[in-house]
A = this chain, B = another copy of it.
Amino acid sequence: MLAAARAAFAERGFDAASIRVIASAAGVDPALVHHYFGSKDKLFLAAIEAPADPEELLPELLAGGTADLGASVVRLLLQVWDGPGRAAGLALVRSAVTNEWTARLLREFLVSQVLRRVVGTLGLPRAEAEARGSLVASQLIGVVMARYVLRVEPLASASAEELVAAVGPTVQRYLTGDVDLPGVVAPTT
């Protein structure tokens, strides 16, 4: 079931892959998939062995309003990666860098589970939401790579709050600031 889910999510993307198609590929009843995993989100997290469940972690953060959203997102990222999620996170990044299919799965995880929820609170037009989300992704992935993979100092040894203070404003600017957004034509007001 998980292998069929991985194949479907990588091939079709998160949105287009349905539980019905995955169940059919696995030769089981869709009700069984629902019974075991509850939702497509949960099935996806299980299939990619996600380091954390954004659906559990994000609501509290998002309830805090948008003024500190950038700092909150960086803080949550570091909580997961400085904590028990690091091993699963590193495994996912390693696999994504060497395997095109896992790269697609990691991208679908970021876009459908993390960025869409975070940027979704801002009520933006779709193109703008995707542009801001992809810029946020670039800074968050970069922090992960610099801190946990390449260990560039002093970023690698910095405390979480030091990094929140340094990088939070970047993420905030990408979320709500005045940015020339790729692929978004500025409104001619």
Q: Which residues of A contact B (CB under 8 A)?
A: 93-94, 96-98, 103, 106-107, 110-111, 127, 130-131, 133-135, 137-143, 145-147, 149-159, 162-163, 165-167, 169-170, 173-174, 179-184
When the two chains form their complex, are residues B170 and A158 in contact, meaning their CB atoms are under 8 A apart? no
Given the known inter-chain contacts A182-B166, A183-B162, please indicate yes or no for A146 contacting B138, CB distance below 8 A: yes
When the two chains form their complex, are residues B149 and A96 in contact, meaning their CB atoms are under 8 A apart? yes
When the two chains form their complex, are residues A165 and B180 in contact, meaning their CB atoms are under 8 A apart? yes
Provide a sorted-by-A list of 19 A–B residue pairs whose CB atoms are within 8 angstroms. A94-B97, A94-B98, A103-B151, A107-B150, A110-B150, A111-B152, A131-B166, A133-B152, A134-B153, A134-B155, A137-B152, A138-B142, A138-B155, A138-B167, A139-B170, A142-B143, A154-B182, A163-B182, A166-B182
In the complex, which residues of chain B have a beta carbon less than 8 angstroms from the beta carbon of A142? 137-143, 145
Looking at the complex, which one of B94, B138, B158 makes contact with A152 (CB distance below 8 Å)? Answer: B138
User: In terms of DSSP, what is the predominant structure of the interface of chain A?
Assistant: helix
What is the copy number of this chain in the assembly? 2
When the two chains form their complex, are residues B152 and A143 in contact, meaning their CB atoms are under 8 A apart? no
Q: How far is it, in angstroms, between the C-alpha of A180 and the C-alpha of B165 when the chains are bound?
A: 6
In the complex, which residues of chain B have a beta carbon less than 8 angstroms from the beta carbon of A135? 155, 166-167
When the two chains form their complex, are residues A162 and B145 in contact, meaning their CB atoms are under 8 A apart? no
Given the known inter-chain contacts A97-B97, A98-B97, please indicate yes or no for A107 contacting B151, CB distance below 8 A: yes
When the two chains form their complex, are residues A154 and B183 in contact, meaning their CB atoms are under 8 A apart? yes
In the complex, which residues of chain B have a beta carbon less than 8 angstroms from the beta carbon of A166? 131, 135, 179-182
Q: How far is it, in angstroms, between the C-alpha of A59 and the C-alpha of B145 when the chains are bound?
A: 27
Looking at the complex, which one of B130, B146, B149, B154 makes contact with A130 (CB distance below 8 Å)? Answer: B154
When the two chains form their complex, are residues A103 and B150 in contact, meaning their CB atoms are under 8 A apart? yes
